[in-house]
Amino acid sequence: MKLPSTYKLKDIAAIINCEFDGSPDHVVTGLNEIHMVEPGDIVFVDHPKYYDKALKSKATTVIINKKVECPEGKALIISDDPFRDYNLLVRHFYPVNYSTKQIADTAKVGEGTILMPGVYLGNNVTIGKNCVIHPNVVIYDDCHIGNNVIIHANTVIGADGFYYKKRPHMFDKMISCGRVIIEDDVEIGSVCAIDKGVSGDTIIGAGTKMDNHVQIAHDAHLGKMCLVAAHVAIAGVVVVEDGCTFWGQSGVRSDVHLAKGTVVLAQAGIGGDTEEGKSYFGSPASESRTKMRELAALKRLPDLLRKLDSEENS
């Protein structure tokens, strides 16, 4: 999330009433989670396990719950609860502004696009030319839809990311302030859910096609010309390169990278990065030919054990 203008460290710290370590005039230009940070961004860290990752990240301002040595060229904001204060900053710069109209005044719809009954468009939604948006589709604030896009009935674009911090007696929600960007010539089936980024963008590449009941989580990036069958779930911050195929009921865990042309066979569970052009099967998934050989060998195991017992007893 980019801030509306450039801010100084002293001003950011004052918003959340925290001490800081660094030049008061240190520049802040954005807020981002650790997976998405760029120079100028603020990131938060509240567990010693992740201190090093945050301090060495591209972020140049870190909200942290312990006084540590400040890396050169960076600044620290010392907070007793970095998660809470990061959320306070997000809400300060991204205030609640719900549209209660079916089509928000700031929504823009391109020439030749058809909106069927029951479609909801939130604030600052843009839809390109020659799209078909079927009944009861919901498109939340700030989402951008390209040209020649088809979205089938009851799909939701831009709901909040599923991101919570566990407290002793509750789950504390991370406020999502990102977007969904759907490029040209995409088709999305009915009853799908594509969540907006927590702080960046969830992106569906041009020409990609999705079946019904597909879940794409926050900050995932799907490449161009991908095929996604029914009941597929892709977790947050996953990067899928061009030309990948996902067959029914397959899933991908968070923060992995699927190389170009990866094929994920039905009910496979991807738990790590893949290699270009290879197929994957099983849960946890591995290269499909290897997995098939393992299963074939497993079927022979009872016979091999009986043979071994017979040899030992003879």
Given a cut of 70, is residue 120 above it in pLDDT?
Answer: yes
Q: Convert the pLDDT of each residue in 193-252 to its tens digit.
A: 999 999 999 999 999 999 999 999 999 999 999 999 999 999 999 999 999 999 999 999
Given a cut of 90, is residue 18 above it in pLDDT?
Answer: yes
What value does the mean pLDDT take over residues 7-36?
95
Query: What whole-number distance in Å separates Cα of residue 314 and Cα of residue 312?
Result: 6
What percent of the chain lies above the pLDDT cut of 90? 88
**Average pLDDT of every residue of the chain:** 94
DSSP 16-47: TT-EEES-TT-EEEEE--TTT--TTEEEEE-S
Contact, 16 vs 87, CB < 8 A?
Answer: no
The SS3 of residue 306 is helix
Query: What whole-number distance in Å separates Cα of residue 95 and Cα of residue 15?
Result: 14
Residue 157: burial class (beta carbons within 10 Å; 0-12, 13-18, 19+): buried
Q: What is the pLDDT of residue 293?
A: 80
Given a cut of 80, is residue 303 above it in pLDDT?
Answer: no
Q: Convert the pLDDT of each residue in 23-41 to its tens digit.
A: 999 999 999 988 889 999 9
- Domain limits, the chain: 2-93, 108-288
Contact, 63 vs 77, CB < 8 A?
Answer: yes
pTM of the predicted model, to two decimals? 0.89
Contact, 130 vs 113, CB < 8 A?
Answer: yes
Q: Convert the pLDDT of each residue in 80-107 to its tens digit.
A: 999 999 999 999 999 999 999 999 999 9
What is the architecture of the domain spanning 108-288? 3 Solenoid (2.160)
Element (H, E) at 286: strand 286-287
What percent of the chain lies above the pLDDT cut of 70? 100
Q: What's the one-letter identity of residue 99? A: S
What value does the mean pLDDT take over residues 133-143?
98
What value does the mean pLDDT take over residues 123-127?
98
Q: Record the tokens describing residue 232, joined without a space.
A: 């597929």
Position 47 confidence tier, pLDDT thresholds 50, 70, 90: very high
- Indicate which residues carry an active-site annotation: 218
Given a cut of 90, is residue 311 above it in pLDDT?
Answer: no
Q: Record the tokens describing residue 108, joined without a space.
A: 């823009």
Q: What is the pLDDT of residue 314?
A: 66
Residue 128: burial class (beta carbons within 10 Å; 0-12, 13-18, 19+): buried
Q: Convert the pLDDT of each residue in 222-235 to its tens digit.
A: 999 999 999 999 99
- Other C-beta atoms within 10 Å of 16: how many? 18
Domain 2-93, what fold?
A: 3.40.1390
Query: What whole-number distance in Å separates Cα of residue 226 and Cα of residue 188?
Result: 12
Strand 286-287 relative to strand 251-252: parallel, antiparallel, unpaired? unpaired
Cβ neighbours of residue 185 under 8 Å, at least 6 residues apart? 146, 147, 148, 149, 206, 207
- Produce one character per residue of 192-207: b if its CB has 16 or more CB atoms within 10 Å, e if not: bbbbbbbbbbbbbbbb
Q: What is the pLDDT of residue 36?
A: 86
Contact, 14 vs 34, CB < 8 A?
Answer: no
Query: How far lies 305's CA from each of 9, 292, 310, in Å?
Result: 69, 21, 9
Question: In what side-by-side order are the strands of the sheet with 108-109?
Answer: 108-109, 126-127, 144-145, 179-182, 201-204, 221-222, 239-240, 257-258
What value does the mean pLDDT take over residues 287-295?
78
Position 306 confidence tier, pLDDT thresholds 50, 70, 90: confident
Given a cut of 90, is residue 6 above it in pLDDT?
Answer: yes
Position 119 confidence tier, pLDDT thresholds 50, 70, 90: very high
